[in-house]
């Protein structure tokens, strides 16, 4: 399949931090991340494992097959005839905040993401559930696998990016086959004409340029489900990893980041506004964010913005606290709590893994008050 040249065809913001040009991988810097609760498409982070495929919308069809009594092959027009739903959901890559792990011990062959592999959008499209209902799911189906139309080249093989989610999640109302993002047509770089959006799960399960949906008994055997996006203990190395035993990533864990002040900033004496974002995974919600300026001995509770109402559990939450700090250097740390009372570990070294996934350790920022 022909592919776009990643550098030429994207309408992306000039301030994006570009982690890789071919394929294109980029995200918004901390000062822009929290500027808008709903991230504009041109600022929304991009995670591509291969070039963006060129897809002719007129010829496009989505097969829905496997353990289905009524296998389907749907054109975009047919997909648009299913009721349209909008879901606000934050996408977050499992590699978000990897830079902290990389600073502890090298993580080879992975993008050195800071805290910018995350963004929030309103996704519009058909519910996957409605399409699966039309395909009449058979009783033995336990997982729904997705395959992208991009072309990954690995060890002499060529295949599309893929992954799967359990059938219970696939039938949940928030899982969307999206053709719109923030009320606009879904841009090719974000998976247009059609992508899956799986709120509450690592970004990798939200397969872009979806070319196939398969109902099956087992999780996908695609490289990105069976070999990548698996979590190992700190002592495991790439050479001794038993891929069968790695934890297959699905739901995100609770996380947060301090967007302001930025690391190394010099701020004026007085009341300092400390701001950031926090996220929860699965069906959970961010309930509280605490801040400490003494390494966790004492804590102050931040104010959570109410941009997303209580029903929008798929969106990040913005938070802010005003701190009165004397002149000198300060290190502020944050920790979020979710609705299951999970919170973040203090130190990334305790959760370090050779792929650098799921860093949700307390974010830390050191700055100076003058
Ligand atoms: N789907 C395909 N087909 N190819 C990809 O490389 N990357 C995945 C996911 N879906 C990917 C994909 C990963 S790892 C993430 S984090 C999200 O897309 C990123 O979506 P975005 O680029 O719209 O932010």
* Residue 302, domain CATH: 2.60.40.650
What is the pLDDT, as a whole number, of residue 312?
Answer: 65
215 & 330 share domain = no
Q: Which residue has tokens 């949940």? A: 172
User: Residue 250 C-alpha to ligand 1 middle, in angstroms?
Assistant: 14
- What is the per-residue pLDDT across 119-166, written as a single tens digit (0 to 9) for each? 999 999 999 999 999 999 999 999 999 999 999 999 899 999 999 999
C-alpha span between 342 and 133 (Å, rounded): 34
CA-closest residue to ligand 1 atom 9 = 204
Q: How many CB atoms lie within 10 A of CB 225?
A: 25
Ligand 1 atom at minimal distance to the Cα of residue 92: 16
154 & 34 share domain = yes
What is the pLDDT, as a whole number, of residue 9?
Answer: 58
User: Residue 215 C-alpha to ligand 1 middle, in angstroms?
Assistant: 21
Q: What's the whole-number mean pLDDT along residues 268-288?
A: 94
Number of domains in the chain: 2
Q: What 3-state DSSP class applies to 57?
A: coil
CA-closest residue to ligand 1 atom 19 = 47
What is the pLDDT, as a whole number, of residue 244?
Answer: 93
Q: Cα dist. 331→42, 295, 304 in Å?
A: 32, 8, 21
User: Residue 333 C-alpha to ligand 1 middle, in angstroms?
Assistant: 30
8, pLDDT greater than 50? no
Domain finish residue from 195, 219, 248: 248
- Pair of tokens at residue 25: 């991988």
5, pLDDT greater than 50? no
C-alpha span between 142 and 132 (Å, rounded): 13
Cβ-Cβ contacts under 8 Å for 279 (sequence gap 6 or more): 90, 92, 118, 252, 254, 255, 256, 286, 316, 317, 336
92 & 230 share domain = yes
Q: What 3-state DSSP class applies to 366?
A: strand
How many CA atoms within 13 Å lie on the side-chain side of 15? 9
CA-closest residue to ligand 1 atom 17 = 203
C-alpha span between 336 and 277 (Å, rounded): 9
CA-closest residue to ligand 1 atom 10 = 207
Q: What's the whole-number mean pLDDT along residues 182-199?
A: 97
User: Residue 195 C-alpha to ligand 1 middle, in angstroms?
Assistant: 9
110 & 211 share domain = yes
Cβ-Cβ contacts under 8 Å for 89 (sequence gap 6 or more): 120, 121, 123, 174, 197, 199, 200, 314, 315
Q: How confident is the model at residue 247 (pLDDT cuts 50, 70, 90)?
A: very high
Do 245 and 164 meet the contact criterion of CB atoms below 8 Å apart?
no
User: Residue 154 C-alpha to ligand 1 middle, in angstroms?
Assistant: 17
- Pair of tokens at residue 100: 């902290």
User: Residue 332 C-alpha to ligand 1 middle, in angstroms?
Assistant: 32
- Pair of tokens at residue 238: 């790439």
237 & 275 share domain = no
Domain finish residue from 248, 275, 299: 248
CA-closest residue to ligand 1 atom 2 = 208
4, pLDDT greater than 60? no
Q: In 184-248, where do the E strands start and end?
A: 184-185, 195-197, 210-216, 230-231, 247-248
Tell me which of 63-77, 90-104, 298-312 is least confident. Answer: 298-312
67 & 207 share domain = yes
- pLDDT above 90 covers what percent of the chain? 92
**Average pLDDT value over all residues in the chain:** 95
CA-closest residue to ligand 1 atom 14 = 204
Ligand 1 atom at minimal distance to the Cα of residue 46: 22
CA-closest residue to ligand 1 atom 8 = 204
269 & 323 share domain = yes
194 & 263 share domain = no
Pocket test for ligand 1, best of 92, 203, 230 (most atoms within 8 A of CB): 203
Pocket of ligand 1 (CB under 6 A): 44-49, 91, 93, 148, 150, 161, 190-191, 203-204, 206-209
User: Residue 299 C-alpha to ligand 1 middle, in angstroms?
Assistant: 36
Domain finish residue from 248, 273, 296: 248
What is the pLDDT, as a whole number, of residue 309?
Answer: 61
217 & 120 share domain = yes
Closest listed residue to residue 198, CA positions, set 167, 160, 222: 167
Ligand 1 atom at minimal distance to the Cα of residue 50: 6
Q: What's the whole-number mean pLDDT along residues 97-118?
A: 96
294 & 167 share domain = no
Find how far residue 182's CA is from the centre of its chain.
17
276, pLDDT greater than 80? yes
Q: What's the whole-number mean pLDDT along residues 82-110?
A: 97
72 & 170 share domain = yes
Structural element, H or E, at residue 129: helix 128-135
For position 179, which CATH number holds? 3.90.420.10
Ligand 1 atom at minimal distance to the Cα of residue 117: 16
Q: What's the DSSP call for residue 49? A: S
Do 278 and 319 meet the contact criterion of CB atoms below 8 Å apart?
yes
Pocket test for ligand 1, best of 25, 41, 191 (most atoms within 8 A of CB): 191
86, pLDDT greater than 50? yes
Show the domain range for 301.
Answer: 255-369
234 & 271 share domain = no
């Amino acid at each position: 399949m022909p592919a776009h040249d990643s550098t030429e065809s994207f309408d992306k913001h000039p301030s994006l931090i570009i982690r890789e040009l071919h394929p294109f991988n980029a995200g918004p810097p901390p000062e822009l991340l929290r500027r808008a609760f709903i991230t504009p498409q041109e600022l929304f982070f991009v995670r591509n494992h291969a070039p963006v495929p060129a897809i002719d919308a007129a010829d496009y069809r989505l097969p829905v097959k496997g353990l289905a009594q009524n296998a389907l092959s749907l054109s975009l027009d047919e997909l648009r005839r299913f009721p349209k739903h909008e879901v606000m959901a934050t996408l977050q890559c499992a590699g978000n905040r990897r830079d902290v792990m990389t600073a502890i011990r090298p993580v080879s062959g992975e993008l050195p993401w800071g805290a910018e592999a995350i963004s929030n959008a309103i996704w519009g499209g058909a519910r996957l559930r409605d399409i699966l209902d039309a395909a009449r799911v058979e009783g033995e189906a336990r997982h729904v696998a997705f395959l992208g139309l991009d072309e990954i080249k690995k060890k002499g093989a060529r295949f599309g990016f893929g992954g799967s989610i359990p059938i219970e999640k696939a039938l949940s109302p928030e899982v969307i086959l999206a053709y719109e993002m923030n009320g606009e047509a879904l841009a090719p770089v974000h998976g247009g004409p059609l992508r899956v959006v799986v709120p509450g799960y690592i970004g990798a399960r939200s397969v872009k340029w979806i070319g196939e949906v398969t109902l099956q008994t087992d999780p996908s055997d695609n490289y990105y489900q069976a070999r990548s996006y698996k979590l190992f203990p700190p002592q495991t190395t790439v050479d001794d990893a038993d891929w069968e035993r790695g934890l297959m990533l699905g739901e995100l864990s609770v996380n947060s980041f301090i967007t302001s002040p930025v690391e190394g900033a010099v701020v004026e004496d007085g009341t300092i506004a400390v701001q950031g974002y926090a996220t929860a995974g699965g069906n959970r919600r961010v309930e509280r964010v605490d801040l400490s300026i003494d390494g966790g001995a004492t804590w102050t509770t931040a104010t959570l913005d109410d941009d997303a109402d209580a029903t929008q559990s798929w969106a990040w939450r913005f938070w802010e606290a005003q701190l009165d700090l004397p002149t000198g250097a300060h290190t502020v740390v944050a920790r979020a709590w979710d609705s299951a009372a999970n919170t973040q570990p203090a130190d990334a070294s305790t959760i370090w893994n050779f792929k650098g996934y799921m860093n949700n350790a307390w974010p830390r920022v050191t700055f100076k008050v003058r």
